[in-house]
């Protein structure tokens, strides 16, 4: 059989299998190079407005060719010149013969390269934030609906005092709110590099404007506004500081840690059969074990989140290794790291959205697990009741201690149910409080203020954040396994 050439080259699974169409486009060559052309137009417009010999016809010619990029011609030029920006300058100039003399006028490569990166980073955040808002909204509803269902709490992954299913979800929500704040802050902190020249001094533009520094400053302001930014970095080298990338990836890597924790919890709860992620009727859990219902979405989140968490180390190294006004050893690394971080974040948010809109809770399984552990947890309540009935605390404590060890042996050594309460009922010492035992064992009395905490947290912390995303929900998506 003949080979299909489409499948003979490596293609990133992030692009072909997982990430959304809008995020893939954001980091596409089409978007990148058409943005370069827009930036050349912004520069030419601003230079024309400030008195340089540029005509409206030249601007119109460039605007007519923003999107029709001849990628083959650009690749041929780059192979000859070994310079991607000049290759595209030549190709754009060939399409726009009137404008060719003024394309890229006074600029350096980083004018289009860095400014485009900043636009793409900003737009990437704009894709991610509504998806994060959608996850928070779904998880908030889950917390609200399940705020009063008692469940075993765990410390050291050992059964501890009861909490509720909804209260546990607020712990997940709390971390997601921190991520929303960090990502929104990183997005809003982004500025434009603007027109700064080869080493950031704007010397070439000062020459263009015959030493008029105010015009050069105005040029920077005009181009910044045209690109949709309120502020620009006041000082740069040839590039904007690579700590900017670090701030962006810090926020995304932190999101990865949150999603990994949430989905690890869900995987553990799925093992206990207390909570289950969505599982389609035709879905196969195992090729060998037909009965299995693997938490594959949560596993995927953990898998890609681990990759996302490692990427911030690249930006740390790049920021640390920039020499003087810039060095080119950032380029190849950033081409890989920045897209992969945003695509990875996009994947885990879409997958987590799918999980949170279809989480299934099994209250009877949860109740059974509580019943196995709650008798031990009632010990203090039983002691207090006996003291109120006239008993001696130390005597009662010793009685409970002996009976608890006997019941524990039944569970651990013989695999039987916890029979501590039955042992208490049979012991005449506890006759004064036998009528209270059922009330003392009611799980809802062991959850403290958990239901109220859920309501307060949602009202005070979650809903004000969700108000920023009204009308920006993301529709459910089909996810590849």
Q: Which of 61, 26, 27 is nearest to 41 (CA)?
A: 61
Compute the distance between CA of residue 57 and CA of residue 71 in angstroms, rounded to an integer. 25
Is 156 a catalytic site residue?
yes
CA–CA separation, 436 vs 454, rounded Å? 29
109 catalytic, yes or no? Answer: no
Cα-based distances in Å from 102 to 48, 53, 58, 205: 10, 9, 8, 13
* 351/478 Cα distance (integer angstroms): 9
Alpha-carbon span 156 to 41, nearest angstrom: 60
Query: 3-state secondary structure string, 377-407?
Result: HCHHHHHHHHHHCCCCHHHHHHHHHHHHHHH
- On the 0-12 / 13-18 / 19+ scale of CB atoms within 10 A, 130 is middle
CB atoms within 10 A of CB 172: 23
- The tokens describing 28, both together, are 């596409």
Rounded Cα distance between 149 and 15, Å, is 40
Write phi, then psi, for 13 (nearest 5 degrees).
Answer: -60, -25
Q: Tell me how far apart the alpha carbons of residues 425 and 150 are, in angstroms, rounded to a whole number.
A: 25
Q: 3-state SS of the chain: helix, strand, coil percent to 5? A: 65, 5, 30
Q: 361: which strand partners?
A: 275
Among 193, 40, 195, 37, CA closest to 122: 193
Q: Choosing from 5, 20, 83, 156, which is the catalytic residue?
A: 156
Residue 89 backbone dihedrals phi, psi, to 5 degrees: -60, -45
Count of CA atoms in the C-beta half-sphere (13 A) of 187:
19
Sequence-separated (6 or more) residues with CB below 8 Å from residue 423:
403, 406, 407
The residue from 174, 286, 331, 405 that is catalytic is 286
Q: Which residues are annotated as catalytic?
A: 156, 286
């Amino acid at each position: 059989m003949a080979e299909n050439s489409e499948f003979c080259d490596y293609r990133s699974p992030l692009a072909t299998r997982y990430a959304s169409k809008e995020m893939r486009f954001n980091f596409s060559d089409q978007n990148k190079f058409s943005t370069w052309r827009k930036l050349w137009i912004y520069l030419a417009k601003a230079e024309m407005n400030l008195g340089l010999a540029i005509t409206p016809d030249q601007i119109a010619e460039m605007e007519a060719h923003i999107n029709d990029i001849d990628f083959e011609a650009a690749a041929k030029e780059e192979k000859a010149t070994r310079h991607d920006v000049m290759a595209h300058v030549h190709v754009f100039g060939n399409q726009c013969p009137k404008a060719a003399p003024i394309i890229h006028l006074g600029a350096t490569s980083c004018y289009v390269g860095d400014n485009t990166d900043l636009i793409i980073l900003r737009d990437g955040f704009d894709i991610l934030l509504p998806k994060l808002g959608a996850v928070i909204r779904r998880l908030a509803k889950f917390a609200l609906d399940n705020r009063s269902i008692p469940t075993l709490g765990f410390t050291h992954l050992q059964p501890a005092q009861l909490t509720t299913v909804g209260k546990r979800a607020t712990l997940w929500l709390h971390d997601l709110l921190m991520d929303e704040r960090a990502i929104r802050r990183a997005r809003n902190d982004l500025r434009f590099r603007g027109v700064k020249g080869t080493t950031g001094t704007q010397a070439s533009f000062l020459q263009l404007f015959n030493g008029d520094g105010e015009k050069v400053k105005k040029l920077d302001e005009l181009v910044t506004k045209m690109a949709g930014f309120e502020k620009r970095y006041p000082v740069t080298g040839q590039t904007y500081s690579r700590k900017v990338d670090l701030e962006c990836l810090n926020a995304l890597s932190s999101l990865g840690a949150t999603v990994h924790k949430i989905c690890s919890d869900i995987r553990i709860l799925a093992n206990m059969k207390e909570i289950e992620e969505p599982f389609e009727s035709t879905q196969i859990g195992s090729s060998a074990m037909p009965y299995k219902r693997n938490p594959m979405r949560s596993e995927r989140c953990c898998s890609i989140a681990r990759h996302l968490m490692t990427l911030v180390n690249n930006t740390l190294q790049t920021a640390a290794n920039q020499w003087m006004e810039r060095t080119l050893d950032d380029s190849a690394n950033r081409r890989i790291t920045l897209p992969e971080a945003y695509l990875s974040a996009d994947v885990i948010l879409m997958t987590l959205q799918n999980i949170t809109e279809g989480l299934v809770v099994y209250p009877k399984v949860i109740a059974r697990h509580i019943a196995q552990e709650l008798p031990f947890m009632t010990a203090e309540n039983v002691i207090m009741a006996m003291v109120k009935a006239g008993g001696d605390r130390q005597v009662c404590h010793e009685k409970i201690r002996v009976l608890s060890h006997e019941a524990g042996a039944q569970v651990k050594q013989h695999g039987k149910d916890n029979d501590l309460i039955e042992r208490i009922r049979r012991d005449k010492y506890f006759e004064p409080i036998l009528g209270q035992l059922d009330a003392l064992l009611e799980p809802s009395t062991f959850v403290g203020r958990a239901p109220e905490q859920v309501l307060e947290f949602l009202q005070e912390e979650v809903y004000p954040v969700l108000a920023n995303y009204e009308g920006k929900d993301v529709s459910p998506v089909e996810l590849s396994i």
